Chain A
Amino acid sequence: MKIGIVYDLIRWEERALIDAVKKLGHDLVPIQVNRKVFWLTEPNGFSELDFAIQRCVSFYRALASTAILEEQGVTVVNSFNIIRDCEDKLYTTLKLSRNKIPVPKTAVSFNRETCLNIAEKLGYPLIVKPIFGSWGRMVSRALDKDSLLEILDFREYMQSPYFKVHYLQEYIDKPSRDIRAFYFWEEVPAAIYRVSNSWKTNTALGGVAVEAELSNELIELVKRSGDVMGGGILGIDILESKDGRYFISEVNAIPEFRNTVRVTGKDLARLMIELTIKNIKQ
């Protein structure tokens, strides 16, 4: 098969996918989006691709290049809709909640005064998150009304308009860890705990990866969440409360998996390619 890898930078994950495509005997077509011209009014020579894996680290590059490829007839994993729906946390929460997937109580407001009304209902501490972004960047915890107002002040002076969309969420008191589970085409091939003394457990911020064995209940939750978001290849973040309830916190459509491979020994890059081929053929 001719398999495209759409990328801007080659990190550990992209290198693993490139090597997996080659080892499985397929033709690799690298598409480095930040060094390429994409014609919108003419074909760009992608018609021979059987499919492409989207791996841009930049969300906007990922979304734009996926739109172009899809509209010109290429199957992209993940699709434009999945990438958009997973990147926008407002939309992810809406979609999961509407489909009865447990998520922390969340509300959105467009000004600081109404944020205080939300805070009265959620109680403190609460989480204030950018609706776009990753690696725990700019995710804040308001401990009381004063700190909430300080966080909102910072946000209202940020230039990006999306910081004026205030996404406020119930704080889940976790047992010093959260869970990152992988969803590949209705399968759950691996999961890790991200262990940290900080309330932010992102491995990008120093959270330590430890292999997690998921219960059947949790595997089912991951599968249902992945199905709701549209399937494909996903990294699903789960919060567990100290009283044993689970909440889906975020869903990542271009997930990093280096630390998971390191601690589980599972060849996720190879599995991603193999399961994608199997599902595309169906």
Chain B
Amino acid sequence: MRKLECPICGGLMSIPDDAMSGELFEHDECGGQLELEIDEVGNYKLKQAEEVSEDWGQ
């Protein structure tokens, strides 16, 4: 597990080792909907998940 900082509340969140870029997580402590971002050089960070758009769904 990898510990990353929640961009909403600043708390730490455990992310599974096999998590992938774009994967969604909910932070238990603050309820924030978060998206994992992994950049080209392999840096991990959490960001607030994208807002639902008009063309989303199925």
Q: Give residues in A with beta carbon < 8 Å to B.
A: 7-11, 15, 18, 30, 32, 34-35, 57-60, 132-135, 137, 160, 204, 235, 252-256
Contact residues, B40-58 vs A (CB, 8 A): 49-50, 53-58
Indicate which residue in A8, A134, A204 contacts B22 across the interface (CB closer than 8 Å). A8
6 nearest A-B residue pairs (beta carbon): A134-B57, A10-B23, A59-B55, A252-B58, A254-B58, A135-B57
- CB-nearest residue of chain B relative to A163? B54
Asked if A137 and B22 sit within 8 Å, CB to CB, the answer is no
Closest B residue, CB atoms, query A202? B57
- Residues in A neighbouring B23, C-beta threshold 8 A: 9-10, 15
Question: Which residues of the other chain, A, contact B58 by a CB distance below 8 angstroms?
Answer: 57, 134, 235, 252-256
Smallest distance from the beta carbon of A232 to chain B beta carbons, Å? 13
Option from B50, B54, B55, B57 in Cβ contact (under 8 Å) with A9: B50
CA distance A57 to B21 in the complex (A): 15
**Nearest CB in chain B: distance from A178 CB, A:** 16
Beyond the given A9-B50, A59-B55, could you list 6 further A-B residue pairs with CB under 8 A, ordered by the A residue number? A30-B20, A57-B58, A59-B57, A204-B57, A253-B58, A254-B58
Given A9-B35, A9-B49, is A133 in contact with B20 using a C-beta cutoff of 8 Å? no
Complex CA–CA separation, A132 to B55 (angstroms): 7
A135 to B56, CA, bound (A): 9
Question: What mask results when residues 17 to 51 of chain B are scored 1 for a CB within 8 Å of chain A, else 0?
Answer: 00011111000000000010000000000000110
Pairs across A and B, CB under 8 Å, 23 listed: A7-B22, A9-B23, A9-B35, A10-B22, A10-B24, A11-B24, A15-B23, A18-B20, A32-B20, A35-B22, A57-B58, A58-B53, A58-B55, A59-B55, A59-B56, A132-B55, A134-B57, A134-B58, A135-B56, A137-B54, A235-B58, A253-B58, A255-B58
In the bound complex, do residue A57 and residue B54 qualify as a contact, i.e. CB atoms below 8 Å apart? no
Chain A nearest CB from B11 CB (Å) reads: 22
Residues of A within 8 A of B50 (CB): 9
Q: Which residues on the B side are within 8 Å of A204 (C-beta)?
A: 57
Contact (Cβ within 8 A) A32 B55? no
What's the nearest-Cβ distance from chain A to residue B18, in Å? 9
CB distance from B17 to the nearest CB of A (A): 14
| A135 to B24 Cα, complex, angstroms | 19
Closest-CB distance, A94 to chain B (whole angstroms): 20
Contact indicator B35/A57 (Cβ below 8 Å) = no
Which residue of A is nearest B16, CB measured? A15
Contacts of B56 in A (CB 8 A): 57-59, 134-135
